[in-house]
Amino acid sequence: MLLSSMLTGLQAKSLVLTLKDGTLVYYYLEGEKSPVMTWDGEGSIVVNADEYAISGIKHFYISDDDDPNAIASMPASQASFRGGWLTTTAPVDAPVGVYTTDGKHVDAAVSRDGHSVRINLNALPKGIYVVAVGKSTFKVSK
C-alpha cells in the first residue's frame, strides 16, 4: 500500500532489482498491471510470481530513468538473435531469465556449451522480451 501511494503522481517507469550476481531485473510500472512486491516472512521477496531470496538481492529501487522497454544498441560481438535463438557468452553458471515487458517470467529453453549460452524464444508469442544472462540484459523483439 505504501509503495503504491508513493508512486501516485510519479512518472516512474520500473521497479528495478539488482541481484548480488549483478543481474538487473525490471518490472514495468506503466503497463496494464503494476507489479506486486511482498515479503513471504521466511527470507524471500516475491514480485508477482517470481521469488528472490533476500540474501541474493543487493538492492531494489523505483526508477523513472531505467526503462526496460528502452531500445539501446548492442554490439554484434556481445550477442546475436537469429531464427528465434539468442546466443551470447556468459560464465558457465550464469543465471538465465526471460521476462515480458511487464516483468512476468516466462519459460524458454536454454542450452549451454562451455561459455556459449543459447536461448530458444521460438515457443513464445510475438512480442518484446527482456532476457537476462548473468550480468547482461538484452531486449529482444520477435
- Tell me what pLDDT residue 68 has: 56
Q: How many residues does the chain have?
A: 142
Looking at the structure, tell me whether residues 52 and 103 fall in a common domain.
no
- Tell me what pLDDT residue 77 has: 52
Q: Return mean pLDDT, the chain.
A: 80
* DSSP 3-state of 7: helix
Residue 120: inside a domain = yes
The alpha-carbon radius of gyration of the chain (Å, integer) is 15
Residue 74: inside a domain = no
Question: How many domains does one find in the chain?
Answer: 2
Residue 26: inside a domain = yes
CATH assignment of the domain containing 127: 2.60.40.350
Residue 73: inside a domain = no
DSSP codes, 59-118: EEEEESS--TT------TTTEEEETTEEEEE--TT--EEEEETTS-EE--EEEEETTEEE
Residue 71: inside a domain = no
> How far apart (Å, rounded) are the C-alpha atoms in residues 117 and 127?
21
Host domain of residue 90: 79-141
